[in-house]
Amino acid sequence: MKRFIAILLLLTLVGVVLTGCTADSPVGKDSSGDSNDPIYFAWYGPMTGDSKQYGDTEKVAVELALEKINDENGGVLGGRKIIVDFFDDKNDAKEAVTIANKIIGENKYLAVIGGFGSTPSMAAAPLYEEAQIINYSPTSSHADFSSLGEFIFRNTPTQALETAAYADYVYDELGIRTVAILNVNDDWGNNIARIFTETFEGKGGKIVSTESYIPNQTTDFTPMISKAKHLKPEAFFPVAYYQDSANILKQADSLGFEAQMILSSSTLKQELIDLAGELANGCFLMNSYTPDIDTDRFKEVVAAYKERTGKEGDAFLMQTYDVVMQLATAIEEAGTDDPVEVRDALANMKDYECLAGTYAMNEVGDAVRPLQPIRIIDGQFVNISKGDPSAK
């Protein structure tokens, strides 16, 4: 009996040692290609609430990219699949921070894709930076976002660059000298209003009024529109997402306000035209996305998106798809899923072939994309840089 007990204790001890070795072995950090463990990304953005349609688009973009990476290309690092888990932040900063703590606590994610809005993105980014998790936002345009740390990247023009380009084009090409602004009262809206004002007035233009409204609360814009109409500006610039922008167009029309409408880049979605109808015609905006981008992969992805959703593609599709594909490319270039080495590969990426062509990451982690002037003509977003007769 004593001998039997001794043998049993020895076997138990061996089992504990082996279990301990397995638990202490690094998971998902093998660059040799022998490991078949999946590599995990997290995506966070609005899946409910007023910005849900943006999140819906980004989710499909992620799914299309994963089909390309996992199904067509056989994964990364010799056959490892990439899996993306989705989290709903409702485009809210508190929700984004809660999600960040959850993602970090899971201790399995190499990269986070998101957020959508600048306010939640700015709130969550420092947490990912401290945890050394790559945070690559397809759409966060606040000037300071990518400067929050070495692991923070973005795939959209900054508000400073984009809004300055807006002001330049409105003044120089459209020949407009007076503008009234109505902006959503958050980091995104306030910064665009400020930058546009500084740039436009620096060129000699005049902002005749600036009003703001409470996000997710204000639905009656008529008092602010009436004030702007009374001042008779040549152009009216509502800095808002597509749903509020469509309502503003309707209410402006009901008041007989016929100024040139300037819309934010975020309104380049089919949903704007679906809601505003003919009132969207003639509106001006700028975006890095245009429907006439002429690359084979762009056409394939846009066609796949339309087949799946019944909707036209947009910048949120393009930029999110590119983020997932570029992260996969960075993993391949690094030869590992070690976050520091993947981060370095991403930061130093040059001449990356995205859907719209070639771009490079700049010194602060921004994927530099050119902007194109767009006008809505006959219910279509039209690139007017190519001499369309309706351009001005």
List, for residues 62-92, the tens digit of each pLDDT value.
Answer: 999 999 999 999 999 999 999 999 999 999 9
Provide the pLDDT for residue 294. Answer: 87
Please state whether 357 falls in left (phi above 0), alpha (psi between -120 and 50) or beta: left
User: pLDDT band at residue 157, thresholds of 50, 70 and 90?
Assistant: confident
> H helices within 231-292, ranges in order?
242-254, 270-276
User: pLDDT band at residue 161, thresholds of 50, 70 and 90?
Assistant: confident
Distance in angstroms (rounded) separating the CA atoms of residues 311 and 270: 7
Provide the pLDDT for residue 37. Answer: 94
Provide the pLDDT for residue 254. Answer: 98
Which of these ranges, 77-81, 252-256, 356-360, has the smallest mean pLDDT? 356-360
Torsions phi, psi for 89 (to 5 deg): -100, 0
Domain boundaries, the chain: 39-157+293-361, 160-287+373-386
Common-topology check for domains 39-157+293-361 and 160-287+373-386? yes
Beta strand ranges found along 293-379 (DSSP E): 352-354, 357-359, 372-377
CATH class of 39-157+293-361: alpha beta
Distance in angstroms (rounded) separating the CA atoms of residues 16 and 12: 6
Torsion of CA 376, 382, 385, 387, to 10 degrees: -90
Percent of the chain with pLDDT over 90: 74
Nearest to 192 by CA among 166, 227, 169, 156: 166
Torsions phi, psi for 249 (to 5 deg): -60, -40
Which of these ranges, 26-35, 36-45, 128-137, 211-220, has the smallest mean pLDDT? 26-35
Does the pLDDT of residue 3 top 60, yes or no? no
Per CATH, the number for 160-287+373-386 is 3.40.50.2300
Distance in angstroms (rounded) separating the CA atoms of residues 75 and 61: 17
Provide the pLDDT for residue 386. Answer: 66
